[in-house]
Amino acid sequence: MSLITIKNLWKEYGDNVVLEKISLNIQEGEFCTLVGPSGCGKTTFLKMLLGQETPTRGTFLLEGKPFPQEPSLERGIVFQRYSVFENLTVLGNVLLSIELKESKFFGHLFGLKRQKAKEAAIKMLNAVGLAESLHKYPTELSGGMQQRLSIAQSLVNKPKILLLDEPFGALDPGIRADMHALILDLWKKHNLTVVMVTHDLHESFYLGSRLLVFDKVRNDSQAPNRFGAQITYDIPVGSEGMIMTKINKSLKEGNK
């Protein structure tokens, strides 16, 4: 069974048709990169995967069941703009993510549970390369380090799906290359399924195992909102994508 099953999905805001006829299956472990012109509905699509938006119509299933209507722990998101709490230290930010998950009512853990949460937070911060900055505040961090912190906050709760909305768009090229290496490493080690929006075609080919292009195939010059974007390309990319294509091809040939 596919992790995510989408059939003939539409998203409209009033008479603005944003997405139309989207059909797509995403398997566990895929790294899907999503590109398309500005305003074609990429963020809206991510928000539906997160549970912040609902489709207007169509089939939208997570592990064969209707998508949870609210953001939940199997899905973590990292935005382009850092979404960390400035009055908490690096460690405090990641600890809070765990506390909000494990103690929804108080937002606080005590005793042994807090100690374990602290250890898990430090382990995650180690994994993203922030071991030296545990007691710093976000304003003392560079952009790349803040983005590492956002990733740690998302991953510490072990989501199955990591949603990335142009997470590296604001970073310098050198830092971006470091972040690419980090995200590929985390993707493999944590067996994540990733859906990432990017404006950078090179990034989409380099990072993804599968590239999805969203665009309008129908246009009405009198009423630009009449038609929504569809998936115009869905192709395997990157070394992982090529391996998958070869495996699928040899499986098909073996079945002949």
Ligand X SMILES: Nc1ncnc2c1ncn2[C@@H]1O[C@H](COP(=O)(O)OP(=O)(O)OP(=O)(O)O)[C@@H](O)[C@H]1O
Residue 18 near ligand X by CB under 6 A:
yes
The angle, 0 to 180 degrees and rounded to 10, between the axes of the packed helices 143-155 and 90-102 is: 20
Q: Which residues pair with 22 in a beta bridge?
A: 9
Q: Report the residue number, 99 or 165, with the smaller CB distance to ligand X.
A: 165
Q: Report the residue number, 45 or 187, with the smaller CB distance to ligand X.
A: 45
* Count of residues touching ligand X (by CB under 6 A): 11
Residue 13 near ligand X by CB under 6 A:
yes
Interface residue with ligand X among 39, 66, 107, 224 (CB under 6 A) is 39
Contact status, residue 33 vs residue 237, Cβ threshold 8 Å: yes
The CA R_g of the chain, rounded to the nearest whole Å, is 19
Q: How long is the chain?
A: 256
Residue 64 CB-density burial (10 A; 0-12 exposed, 13-18 middle, 19+ buried) = exposed
We find the least distance from the C-beta atom of residue 223 to ligand X, in angstroms, to be 13
CA distance 98 to 101: 5
CA distance 48 to 67: 9
We find the least distance from the C-beta atom of residue 213 to ligand X, in angstroms, to be 12
Among positions 44-63, residues that touch ligand X (CB under 6 A) are: 44
Q: Report the residue number, 43 or 93, with the smaller CB distance to ligand X.
A: 43
Interface residue with ligand X among 20, 22, 31, 41 (CB under 6 A) is 41
Residue 15 near ligand X by CB under 6 A:
no
- Tokens representing 81 are 């703009």
Q: Which stretches of the chain bind ligand X, using CB under 6 A? A: 13, 16, 18, 36, 38-44
